[in-house]
Structure 1
Amino acid sequence: MPSAEDPSQLLLRARNGDTGAREELIRRFTPFILAVVSRATGHFIRLGEDDEASVGLMAFNEAIDSFRPGGGSSFLTLAETIIRRRLVDYFRREGRHQRVLSLHAIDNETAATVDPLGGEAINMVNELADRRREIERYREELAGFGITFKDLVKASPQHRDARDRALAAARVVAANPLFRQYLLERKALPLKALEKSVETSRKTLERHRKYIIAAALMLIGDYEYLADYIGQGKRGGQDA
């Protein structure tokens, strides 16, 4: 089967019972599926190793049958919705809580609404694959500081004002060459000096230490996609 075949034709054939077209469509969109599952679970998902990957693949297969052209939403939007729902079902069955890697923005991200069955779909899948690689690189950098994604879920400030203060501290660390050097060399925050530079007590800085470090590393590193989640991406947005 030609690998360059239009995804819209693959989808049509898959819905009409063509098993080969269905398998090719799933294969082609596997990076998209894994990216959605990775965002929803908060950790890097490996095909063939993580049960969540299988849940995502089955949900995508379900989306092929559920999609109705002209129904008002794109196929990938529907697929992401079904994948997330099936993951919730899976976690409930397993007696686990859904884990979401988030600096309180990633969890609010929605699927793109562009028509996924043209050239834009390939670009979207490629972008999602890039995001997946970026998430893995970030995970590895955090590991060097003894921080895991699970730690971030627990360490994320629950209130907006606390989160804003923590992000402000992270921005100060990232912008100050001495603070940045201290962080990268000692794998710790320069708490004494930082306290004098922000309107936050040392006790609060210590309480949100992991979150501040994670946000600072995101700002310091070349994280084109992830930095957008805290308002400092290459597009220059600010945290709302």
Structure 2
Amino acid sequence: MSEKEFYFLLMQAKKGDKKCRNQLIEKYRPFILKAAAQVSGRFINMGEDDEASIALIAFNEAIDSFDESKGCSFIGFAQTVIRRRLIDFYRSEKKRVSIPFSQIDDGPGNVLGSAEFVAAAAQYDADVEKIERREEIERFTQTLSSFDIKFDDLVKASPKHETARQRAMEVAVAIARNEHMRKHLYSYKSLPLKELSTRAKVSRKTLERQRKYIIAAVIILTSDFYYLKEYIKKVL
């Protein structure tokens, strides 16, 4: 399929031409399955795996929402939409898995391994991740404000020594895993000091000094902050 023919089908599909949409889907069926396989870490079969249906819906979504004026290729854009929808699916199922891109074996004529695809997908992924990180920080900052904590406060509140940080993180994990302490934190906007004094091997004075750091860690552990959770994992 020539580039001219491809964009004709794409534009017609965006306008509601079902025949052109079906032609695109049929042409890019191997791409859709391989894009799903990249995220799932296994072969995906159309009509058998949930990932195939999700990837197909995502590809349709990409057709409708693609904006050429943003300077990215449709291939890179569609792959990113498929990846994000599958990641959302795995998060909801609590079973996100992935495999290195290099392990995907592309067959002849498959666009997944083309130079255009790799470059466009890499650039688009980087742009999307940058936006997602910024939006996540904004949501985190808003949540912190409800505890009368500013994002900038966390730099000063962070324990200076690694041992102290580890202990503070252990306290945060204990709160996050305990329903009663977790509810106390969110209801009263304060640490459950009385209960922690019997559970944690940390003095009340230390808990009060590390209050902002511990609360911030609990918020990250108990909320949908994907990138911040990655940071927490490095500390644990």
Matching residue of 1:209: 211
Aligned residue type for 1:118 = A
Aligned residue type for 1:143 = S
1:145-169 residue CA offsets vs partner (Å, 9 max, x unmatched): 0000121111110100000000000
TM-score (norm 2): 0.50
Q: CA deviation at 1:230?
A: 1.0
Matches within 5 A, 1:32-51: none
3-state DSSP of counterpart to 1:222 = coil
Q: Does 1:135 align with 2:137?
A: yes
Aligned residue type for 1:202 = R
Q: CA deviation at 1:195?
A: 1.8
Q: Does 1:3 align with 2:69?
A: yes
Matching residue of 2:235: 239
Q: CA deviation at 1:179?
A: 0.4
Q: CA deviation at 1:118?
A: 2.8
Q: What RMSD over aligned residues (CA atoms) do the two structures have, in Å?
A: 2.2
Aligned residue type for 1:122 = Y
Matched residues, number: 127
Structure 1 unaligned spans of 5+: 8-115, 232-237
Distance change (3 Å), C-alpha of 1:192 and 1:159: same
Aligned residue type for 2:155 = V
Question: In 2, are the aligned partners of 1:6 and 1:117 still within 8 Å (CA)?
Answer: no
Q: Does 1:149 align with 2:151?
A: yes
Q: Does 1:172 align with 2:174?
A: yes
Q: Does 1:198 align with 2:200?
A: yes
Question: In 2, are the aligned partners of 1:155 and 1:210 still within 8 Å (CA)?
Answer: yes
Distance change (3 Å), C-alpha of 1:117 and 1:181: same
In 1, the alpha carbon distance for the partners of 2:178 and 2:72 equals 49
In 2, the alpha carbon distance for the partners of 1:202 and 1:225 equals 31
In 1, the alpha carbon distance for the partners of 2:207 and 2:172 equals 10
Distance change (3 Å), C-alpha of 1:129 and 1:196: same
In 1, the alpha carbon distance for the partners of 2:72 and 2:188 equals 52
In 1, the alpha carbon distance for the partners of 2:72 and 2:208 equals 53
Percent identity at matched positions? Answer: 44
Of Structure 1 and Structure 2, the greater helix share is in: 2
In 2, the alpha carbon distance for the partners of 1:6 and 1:213 equals 40
2:126 to 111, 124, 127: 124
Matching residue of 1:182: 184
In 2, the alpha carbon distance for the partners of 1:137 and 1:6 equals 27
Choose between structure 1 and 2 for higher RCO, CA contacts under 8 A separated by at least 6 residues.
1
Q: CA deviation at 1:239?
A: 3.2
3-state DSSP of counterpart to 2:152 = helix
Q: Where in structure 1 do 4 or more consecutive aligned residues deviate above 4 Å?
A: 4-7
In 2, the alpha carbon distance for the partners of 1:6 and 1:185 equals 45
Q: CA deviation at 1:128?
A: 1.4
